[in-house]
Amino acid sequence: MTTAVPFISASRLHKTYQVRKGLFGRGKTLHAVSGLDFDVPTGSTFGLVGESGSGKSTLARLLLAAEPATEGELRVNGAPLAADAAGRKAFHKLVQPVLQDPYASLNPMMRVEDIVAEPLRVHGVRKGLALQTRVGELLQAVGLLPEIARRFPNELSGGQRQRVAIARALGLEPHALVLDEPVSALDVSIQAQILNLLKDLQASQGLTYVLISHDLAVVAYMSDQIGVLYLGEFMELGSRDAVLQGSRHPYTRALMASSESRVERSASAASEIPSPIALPYGCRYQSRCPHVTGHCRQEKPSLRPIGTAHAVACHFDL
């Protein structure tokens, strides 16, 4: 999709789980992520958008090396993920998470200064006065006053807590952040402040972002590339302008309609997403697509290019 050097590169990435119902039930396979290919150029933002059940959270765990892929390869900074402890420690210096709920992700028994300092202590990066100085620098970088350092998470607002989470993520000077629904738990008035902070940090530090969200408006504001995920597969993939201004998949259009009218969601996007344990034969979107035909039910469409920076998984040129 791009000629720029990728910092993160996924090739035919699969993740399945074996699910058993009851003690003697027959095991079934849950297909969470199915054959994803994408590159994230250094210093850019790749936005992943989709509903609950689309595979976003699973992909986030794979990108953070919290779980191994069942098949395929994930490369970071040109190298495949290492399975040993030393390799994982090196990886976490390169890639850090910023998660959805800033309160749940912060230890309520620790003061802010200890929360931000914890990764530095674990990795032995700073000690003593140098550690204290670095914590102050990180809090300043995310727009927090020095007195915040002595407070506990329950003494902070939601926006302040997310700034603390970002400061903690920046402590090891990572090259990339995986942002998993980073503003969905915040008031709308605060969301824009956090998104603008993330943009400023990216510009000043050259960070690479993978932004995962159910909110297409957030993805549209932040991203250079967008992948539209449904039941573990890309329905549409391309540059921000190509996907938003020239969307070609019915699911992308349904998400756009939903984003534009939050009160009345489009009919196709409002219905329930099928189970990843019982995937439909043919196109995975067929049960919700207003344009479905017998061809869609018989043959799964491949992700085909329709331009230099645009691909769609649909049988028809809509």
- Does a structural domain hold residue 295? no
In Å, how far are 106, 115, 175 from 109, measured between CA atoms? 9, 10, 29
- 98: domain range? 6-285
Q: Which position has the higher pLDDT, 95 or 24?
A: 95
Whether 254 is in a domain gets the answer yes
**What is 236-303 written as a DSSP string?**
EEEEHHHHHHS--SHHHHHHHHHHH-SSS--HHHHSPPPPTTSPPSS-TTGGG-TT--HHHHHSPPP-
Concatenated DSSP letters for 88-117? Answer: HHHHHHHEEEE-S-TTTTS-TTS-HHHHHH
Query: How high is the pLDDT of residue 45?
Result: 98
pLDDT band at 318 (very low <50, low <70, confident <90, very high): low
- Phi and psi torsions of 206, nearest 5°: 65, 35
Please state the domain count of the chain.
1
Location of structure tokens 């645009």: 310
In tens, the pLDDT along 130-184 reads: 899 999 999 999 999 999 999 999 999 999 999 999 999 999 999 999 999 999 9
Say if residue 264's pLDDT is above 60.
no
pLDDT at position 266: 43
How high is the pLDDT of residue 265? 45
pLDDT band at 3, cuts 50/70/90? Answer: very low
Residue 102: predicted pLDDT: 77
Please report whether residue 310 resides in a domain: no
Q: Which residue has tokens 């058993």?
A: 20
Q: What percent of the chain has pLDDT over 90?
A: 72
| 302, part of any domain | no
Give CA–CA dist 299/129, Å, rounded.
Answer: 63
What angle is formed at CA 246 by the lines to CA 244 and CA 249, rounded to 5 degrees?
Answer: 85
Interval 267-313: pLDDT, tens: 444 467 888 898 989 999 999 999 999 999 999 999 999 988 899 99
Q: CA angle, corner 138, sides to 193 and 147, nearest 5?
A: 85
pLDDT at 25: 63
Domain assignment present for residue 262? The answer is yes
Q: What residues have CB less than 8 Å from 291, skipping those under 6 apart?
A: 250, 316, 318
Contact present, 213 and 219 (Cβ < 8 Å)? yes
Residue 307 lies in a domain: no
pLDDT-derived band at 23 (thresholds 50, 70, 90) equals low
pLDDT at residue 271, rounded to an integer: 62
**How many angstroms from the chain centroid is the CA of residue 317?**
28
CATH of the domain at 229: 3.40.50.300
Instruction: Determine, yes or no, domain membership for 153.
Output: yes
User: How many other C-beta atoms can be found within 10 angstroms of the C-beta atom of residue 215?
Assistant: 18
**Within a domain: residue 298?**
no
Axis crossing angle, helix 158-170 with helix 128-141, rounded to the nearest 10: 130
Averaged pLDDT for residues 40-63: 94
The pLDDT-based confidence of 27 (bands split at 50, 70, 90) is confident
